[in-house]
Structure 1
Amino acid sequence: MRDLFLGLRQLEDQLIEQVGVDLNEAILLCALGSDSRLSTEVSRLTGFLPAHTSKLLASLERRNLIKRTAGSVDRRQVVCQLTEAGLSSLETLRGLELDYPPTLQKLL
């Protein structure tokens, strides 16, 4: 378990260095893709708890990687989409050649 955690930490360090997002934020960017999605849908797609999803979305919004707006039909819903900067980060993520730690290579 320790080796797995360390491997994930090394992977996250690479993401932060090369893209400026941590592992959870990278997962969220990939889940959003080029689509507009409800925050509840993002939570379902990622498997993150709604509160954690909201925290991550707020972090990405502060850095201008996503934009959140109220739903047009139901104002309680939150619609999320990547900004130009977010799309650029997603393209960078998709083009990365990460150096997976040996512990994680076994899982791929």
Structure 2
Amino acid sequence: MEKIKCICIMRELFTALSDLESRLMDTYGVSLNEAMVLCSIGNERVSAGVVIERTGLSASHASKVLGAAEKKGFLTRVLGEQDKRQMYFTLTEEAKNVLTRIKDHGVEVPDVLLPLFKEA
């Protein structure tokens, strides 16, 4: 593949992800990264390390997203019982409601991303 064509395809993907994030924000009030964090926590109590592992976010970026989600009232942060330096996160009822709405109603996926969602 030509190098310039690769860059153009990446631009299209970036634009599609930006559109998807806009739809998530407009419909559910969450960014794409916040939605990924909420999904990665689900009904569990998890550490930031688990969120990082499940989302692929860098530690610093995950910290910012966790902070933003907490500020929106989506997360509860608790200290570890054995190691007080360790933080654990759980979803609030509001976050669980957002996830349920996303699961029930979905979000319109841009056409360029649709092949990624087809079952193999």
Where on the TM-score scale, by shorter chain, does this alignment land: which range?
over 0.9
Higher helix share: 2
What amino acid maps onto 2:86 in structure 1? Q
CA contact (8 A) 1:12 1:22 kept: yes
The alpha carbon displacement at 1:42 in A equals 0.8
Aligned equivalent of 2:91, options 61, 75, 82 = 82
**For each residue in 1:44-103, what CA deviation from the matched residue of structure 2 results, as whole angstroms up to 9, or x when unmatched?**
111111111111111011111101111011011100000111111111121233221111
TM-score by length of 2: 0.85
Residue 57 of structure 1 pairs with residue 66 of structure 2: yes
Aligned equivalent of 2:15, options 6, 21, 45 = 6
What amino acid maps onto 2:103 in structure 1? R
The alpha carbon displacement at 1:36 in A equals 0.6
Name the CA distance, whole Å, in 2 between partners of 1:30 and 1:20: 15
Q: In structure 2, the residue corresponding to 1:75 is in which secondary structure?
A: coil
Count of matched residue pairs: 108
What amino acid maps onto 2:25 in structure 1? I
List gaps (5 residues or longer) in structure 2.
Answer: 1-9
Alignment match, 1:41: 50
Q: In structure 2, the residue corresponding to 1:80 is in which secondary structure?
A: strand
Name the CA distance, whole Å, in 1 between partners of 2:106 and 2:64: 28
List gaps (5 residues or longer) in structure 1.
Answer: none
CA contact (8 A) 1:26 1:93 kept: no
